[in-house]
């Protein structure tokens, strides 16, 4: 007999699953329990170089309240059915809305989307998981709150809860999102509801203003993890500054990254440049304005010569440093002088502002990201190769010039071996850099898909052997990355998992934790 | 081993309790006021589609008389790099309005 489900959770018999589904229907109503292939289609598409069948869900549940979620975890425990929680579900390039393992039930919280509070004076928000950045942006504008959001490049369609829980980044001074998280409500696997930090105390009004509470700080264990289901999330917003000055600094040689990083680090650590600066390679920017087919024919990665031609034709640097100054005009004037002096010293840098860049689409979308405006222009990346394949390779680097050059060269060399291009950038923290490389490939081409898989695997192997850890990874490689952090951390993760979720119902496999 | 078993019993008890008396678990401000809802097709287009399809990232899709079934299928399945959109993001009713907005000529609105 063929199954009425497109997939089943590992080790769960169809009869048992039937019973779970009918209990879910009792809690949520029929319309909020999706099981048909047509209903589940949007949960299946990923950008990873593995068969979509590997990550096919068995069902999706559209819950909207904490009580429903408590009842869902009870049913999951009873039938040992695993659930994979998503908030806005746009984890593109990291696994999208599909679960880590075939057959897991997606708990989709997109419809649990109330903005519970935005405090203008204390500049914080408390939201439910399904709130998108667009929704919050509109709310802030409508109510004239004068607050800015920090967002990842998929802005409008993604959301603060999912992004921060996966420890994502944005581009304003609040760009390291988890640093600005303050207070969570979490449904635990046993159905209890935990409010972290000050939220644990009845009648406290400091939940969204003081992060640490009392005793061990717990918020961290609910990020990149599977220890709970976050149902409310507090975070800080940036008061809109009176003035904002975005700029780009172009350099013409790959080795110049050493000078760039050495120049930027003190400016960043000292707060002269307050935002998450991006040092983008020409091939990260080119797709916004150029077509690969105009420069490359045939297989293999793009040549350095062709990249140089692109930079000439489209007035790009080999490196393009996007940053901004924020504050009063007087503060900006002082800091601008410091920045231009620092970058002007060697004579290699070309410093450009809104005045010179006018309507340049690459500059424009970067400027939008640095002031928390809506744009999806970065999706141009996918026009470079076509075919919709993408994995983010995201090793962490010291903010030290020699290290960034080494990581770039190593990445480029491994990508070239598999015929892939280096579409990379460094997102500058204070002392670290997220080295972000979009491993782009044509998913409709089986050979390229295979090459992309092997390439990514080799990138992880080689980087970890050199002591370079990855900060975040797609669901096909979570175990591999967990392994690179060594057995002790893995054991601690496992111990916590077994204590908090003994039946293993919450997102087994997330960050390699089961 | 005994300790583990005991833990499981306690665990099981909590679930039964939740199933039986769930309202008692509700958090104080859990008033069932509705969440976000789309107003019309134009709003969805402006706040999702237009960021790519009016920005030379994706191809233009308006005024091309694309068949409604085709638009629906692409929204739900995605296409190559275009992400798929779930019914939790664009509900079926709103999708009808969006499809109408995209497939009809501008003059017909
Ligand atoms: C072109 C492009 C550019 C991108 N740029 C960036 C960027 O600048 N910065 C960046 O960070 N990312 C970037 N991304 C990756 C990704 O799209 C974003 O990080 C996005 O914000 C993640 O999706 P989401 O916000 O919808 O989160 P979700 O998909 O909802 O959640 C992400 C993960 O968090 C966990 N999770 C979600 N909700 C819960 C919950 N309630 N309880 C417990 N766990 C939960 C799950 O493991 C889930 O898979 C980019 C992607 C693309 C395609």
| CB spacing of A45 vs B84 below 8 angstroms | yes
- Which DSSP helix (H) or strand (E) runs through A33? strand A33-34
The correct CATH number of B41-108 out of 1.10.630.10, 1.10.760.10, 1.10.10.10, 1.10.1660.10 is: 1.10.760.10
Task: Please report the sign of the dihedral spanned by the C-alpha atoms of residue A91, residue A97, residue A513, residue B2.
Answer: positive
- Residue of B81, B84, B85 to mutate for A, most A C-beta atoms under 10 A: B81
> Which of A70, A411, A371 shows the shortest CA–CA distance to B23?
A70
Task: Please report the sign of the dihedral spanned by the C-alpha atoms of residue A304, residue A305, residue A307, residue A311.
Answer: positive
Q: For residue A432, how far is its CA from the centre of ligand 1 (angstroms)? A: 21
Q: What is the pLDDT of residues B14-50, one digit of tens each?
A: 444 444 433 333 344 444 556 788 999 999 999 999 9
What residues of A are annotated to the active site? 94, 471-472
- CA–CA dist A238, A393 (Å, integer): 29
CA atoms within 13 A on the CB side of A451: 21
- CA–CA dist A194, A161 (Å, integer): 16
Size of interface A-B (CB pairs under 8 A): 143
CA distances from A452 to A20, A165, A180 (A): 38, 27, 35
Q: What is the pLDDT of residues A101-145, one digit of tens each?
A: 999 999 999 999 999 999 999 999 999 999 999 999 999 999 999
Task: Please give the domain boundaries of chain A with CATH numbers for all domains.
Answer: 14-111 (3.30.43.10), 115-239 (3.30.465.10), 243-465 (3.40.462.10)
Task: Enter the ipTM.
Answer: 0.96
Q: What residues of chain B lie within 8 A of the CB of A34, using their CB?
A: 87
CA distances from B33 to A26, A114, A116, B37 (A): 21, 8, 11, 12
Q: For residue A485, how far is its CA from the centre of ligand 1 (angstroms)? A: 22
Confidence of residue A1 (pLDDT cuts 50, 70, 90): low
Q: Work out the number of other CB atoms within 10 angstroms of the CB of residue A194.
A: 17
- Which DSSP helix (H) or strand (E) runs through A496? helix A487-500
> Which of A390, A429, A412 shows the shortest CA–CA distance to A171?
A429
- CA–CA dist A288, A286 (Å, integer): 5
- CA–CA dist A64, A69 (Å, integer): 8
Task: Please report the sign of the dihedral spanned by the C-alpha atoms of residue A53, residue A59, residue A61, residue A67.
Answer: negative
Is residue A419 a contact partner of residue A448, using CB atoms and an 8 Å limit? Answer: yes
Question: Residue A379: CB within 6 Å of ligand 1?
Answer: yes
Q: What is the pLDDT of residues B53-82, one digit of tens each?
A: 999 999 999 999 999 999 999 999 999 999
> Which of A240, A238, A269, A201 shows the shortest CA–CA distance to A432?
A269
> pLDDT > 70: what percent of chain A?
100
**Residue B1 predicted with pLDDT over 50:** no
CA atoms within 13 A on the CB side of B14: 17
Closest residue to A42, CB basis, from B17, B18, B76: B76
For chain A, how far is it from start to end, CA to CA, in angstroms? Answer: 31
The domain limits of chain B are 41-108
Q: Is A247 helix (H, G, I), strand (E, B) or coil?
A: strand
Is residue A67 a contact partner of residue A7, using CB atoms and an 8 Å limit? Answer: no
Indicate the range of A11-15, A339-343, B16-20 predicted with least confidence: B16-20
């Amino acid at each position: 007999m063929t199954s009425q489900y497109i997939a089943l959770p590992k080790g769960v018999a169809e009869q048992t699953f039937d019973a779970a589904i009918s209990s879910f229907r009792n809690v949520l109503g029929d319309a909020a329990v999706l099981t048909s292939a047509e209903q589940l289609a949007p949960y299946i598409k990923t950008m990873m170089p593995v068969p979509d069948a590997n990550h096919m869900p068995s069902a999706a549940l559209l819950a909207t309240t904490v009580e429903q979620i408590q009842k869902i975890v009870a049913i999951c425990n009873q039938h040992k059915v695993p659930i994979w929680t998503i908030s806005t579900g746009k984890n593109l390039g990291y696994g999208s809305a599909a679960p880590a393992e075939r057959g897991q039930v997606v708990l989709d919280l997109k419809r649990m989307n109330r903005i519970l509070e935005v405090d203008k004076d204390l500049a914080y928000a408390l939201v439910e998981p399904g709130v998108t950045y667009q929704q919050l942006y509109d709310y802030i504008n409508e109510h004239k709150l004068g607050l800015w959001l920090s967002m990842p490049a998929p802005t409008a369609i993604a959301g603060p809860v999912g992004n921060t829980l996966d420890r994502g980044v944005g581009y304003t001074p609040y760009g390291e999102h988890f640093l600005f998280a303050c207070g969570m409500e979490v449904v635990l696997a046993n159905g209890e509801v935990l409010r972290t930090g000050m939220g644990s105390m009845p009648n406290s009004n400091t939940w969204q203003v003081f992060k640490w509470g009392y005793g061990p700080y717990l918020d961290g264990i609910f990020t990149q993890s599977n220890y709970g289901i976050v149902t409310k999330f507090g975070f800080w917003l940036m008061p809109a500054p009176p003035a904002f000055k975005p700029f780009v600094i172009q350099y013409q040689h790959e080795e110049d990254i050493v000078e760039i990083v050495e120049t930027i680090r003190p400016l960043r650590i000292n707060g002269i440049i307050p935002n998450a600066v991006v040092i983008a390679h020409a091939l990260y920017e080119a797709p916004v304005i150029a077509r690969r087919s105009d420069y490359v024919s045939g297989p293999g990665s793009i040549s350095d010569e062709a990249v140089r031609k692109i930079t000439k034709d489209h007035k790009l640097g080999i490196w393009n440093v996007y940053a901004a100054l924020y504050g009063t005009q007087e503060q900006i004037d002082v800091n601008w002088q410091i920045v231009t002096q620092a970058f002007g010293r060697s004579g290699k840098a070309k410093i450009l502002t809104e005045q010179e860049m006018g309507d340049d689409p690459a500059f424009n979308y970067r400027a939008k990201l640095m002031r928390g405006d809506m744009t999806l222009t970065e999706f141009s990346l996918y026009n470079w190769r076509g075919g919709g394949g993408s994995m983010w390779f995201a090793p962490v680097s010291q903010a030290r010039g020699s290290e960034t050059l080494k990581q770039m060269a190593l990445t480029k060399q491994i990508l070239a071996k598999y015929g892939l291009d280096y579409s990379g950038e460094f997102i500058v923290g204070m002392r670290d850099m997220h080295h972000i490389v979009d491993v782009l490939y044509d998913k409709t081409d089986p050979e390229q898909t295979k090459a992309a898989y092997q390439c990514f695997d080799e990138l992880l192997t080689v980087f970890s052997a050199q002591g370079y850890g990855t900060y975040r990874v797609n669901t096909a490689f979570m175990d591999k990355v967990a392994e690179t952090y060594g057995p002790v951390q893995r054991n601690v993760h496992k111990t916590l998992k077994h204590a908090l979720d003994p039946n293993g119902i919450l997102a087994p496999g997330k960050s390699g934790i089961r | 081993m005994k300790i583990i078993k005991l833990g499981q019993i306690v665990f099981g008890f909590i679930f039964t309790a939740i199933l039986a008396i769930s309202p008692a678990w509700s958090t104080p401000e859990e008033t069932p006021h509705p969440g976000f809802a789309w107003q019309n097709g134009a709003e969805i287009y402006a706040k999702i589609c237009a960021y790519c399809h009016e920005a030379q990232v994706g191809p233009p899709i308006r005024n091309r008389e694309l068949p409604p079934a085709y638009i629906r299928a692409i929204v739900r399945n995605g296409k190559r790099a275009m992400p798929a959109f779930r019914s939790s993001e664009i509900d079926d009713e709103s999708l009808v309005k969006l499809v109408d907005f995209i497939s009809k000529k501008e003059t017909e609105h």
